[in-house]
Amino acid sequence: MSTYSLSDGLASGAPRLSRAPLLANWLRETGVGVLASIAWIGFGLSCLWWQDVGDWSRTHSVGIAAFIVAAVALFGTLGADYLGSAGRGLRKRAPWLVALGAFLTLWEVATAKFAWLPLPFFPPPQSIVEVYTDDLPKLLDSVFASVKLQLGGYLVGATIGFLTGVSIGWSHAVGYWVHPVLRFIGPLPATAWLPIAFFTFPSSWSASTFLIALATGFPVTVLTWSGVASVSNAYYDVARTLGAKPSFLVLKVAIPAALPHVFVGLFMGLGASFAVLVVAEMIGVKAGLGWYLQWAQGWAAYANMYAALIVMSLLCSGAITLLFSIRDRLLVWQKGTVKW
């Protein structure tokens, strides 16, 4: 590339630059997409080329699906300019598509075709697809049970935690009584309560809800409390001189100011509650993904375990994504560094 001074660069530099790099640019932009397409064609071929070493019914369909993905990647990349945001998204994710295609090819070859990995423990992709198609009702039931249990426990825990945190942060009297209890019980892992909870509560469902609420409640309480306690006195002074009553100070000053802390607590509580949910389902509750995992292990149905794990991870990361998007919506005022 030639160097050019500011004076000629402004007038003639731009057009001079445009020809050759345009082609290079086009290659760079579409190259990865084409590569992604090739990787998925590779996956499709690896499914159909060799015979399976085991008996799996979905090998053919998975191969066809891989070709469809390859076609979508190819035409999507070439026509990205006409596809708007979808095209741009595809281009951005093309490197991941390449990696995924390559990984699936390797997985397929290493398991279903040549059994380089010991077989019952490392099922091929098509056997996991098979679980999703053939065992769907049971899996969906488990998902539904898990979500219900998790949501109920989490909402109860977060609500109680939030209210407790605000009360401790606001009132010295409440703090005097609740703080020691919190210090004594809070750090105990919620799972330690499992044996007691399952015979003191009337049902395994209520016991698990209690445990999930406990795991959620502790971090939410502590962080809400520290958030409320750290609100600057200047805010209260301003509100008071403007005629604010105590209820206004709590609802419109303390809580909004503490909200960033509260969301950290909600996030930590979510992580802790997932762990409790799975353990509770494995031990006591006769439904849900944790139970499904346990059940699959009992039958040595390894494909089902992987399938359930994938669903579980999607649900957990989905829940965290949801929490974060709620936070971003509520805390818009934190974002941005634009200064006028």
Partner 1 sequence: MVALAQAIARPAAGAALDIEQVSHAFDIDGAELPVLSDVSISVEPGEFVALLGPSGCGKSTLLRLVAGLDKPRSGTLREDESRINSPHPSRVVVFQDPTLFPWRSVWDNVALGLEAQGILKSQRHRVDDALDLVGLSSFRSAYPHQLSGGMAQRVALARALVNDPKILVLDEPLGKLDSLTRITMQAELVSLWQRKGFTTLLVTHDAEEALVLANRVIVFSDRPARVKADIRVDRPYPRHRGDPYLADLRRQILGLLGLDATW
Measured from the CB atom, the residue of 83 and 259 that comes closer to partner 1 is 259
> Quick one: tokens of 288?
């849900």
* CA atoms of 226 and 152, how far apart (whole Å): 25
Does residue 242 belong to the site contacting partner 1 (CB under 8 A)? Answer: yes
Cβ contact 52:61 at 8 Å: no
- The CB-of-335 to partner 1 minimum distance in angstroms stands at 9
Q: Which of residues 190-209 bind partner 1 (CB under 8 A)?
A: none
Cβ contact 266:221 at 8 Å: no
Dihedral sign for Cα atoms in the order 235, 241, 246, 252: negative
Measured from the CB atom, the residue of 7 and 337 that comes closer to partner 1 is 337
# of chain residues touching partner 1 (CB under 8 A):
27
Q: Which of residues 248-277 bind partner 1 (CB under 8 A)?
A: 248, 252-253, 256-257, 259
Stretch that binds partner 1, among 8-16, 116-124, 208-216, 327-335 (CB under 8 A): 327-335
Does residue 243 belong to the site contacting partner 1 (CB under 8 A)? Answer: yes
Residue in 93, 148, 179, 240 binding partner 1, rule: CB under 8 A: 240
Q: What is the contact mask toward partner 1 in residues 61 to 90, using x (rule: CB under 8 A)?
A: ------------------------------
Neighbours of 203 (CB within 10 A): 11
* CA atoms of 115 and 51, how far apart (whole Å): 12
* CA atoms of 159 and 153, how far apart (whole Å): 10
Does residue 232 belong to the site contacting partner 1 (CB under 8 A)? Answer: yes
Cβ contact 126:58 at 8 Å: yes
Cβ contact 70:98 at 8 Å: no
Residues that bind partner 1 (CB under 8 A): 232, 234-235, 237-245, 248, 252-253, 256-257, 259, 331-334, 336-340
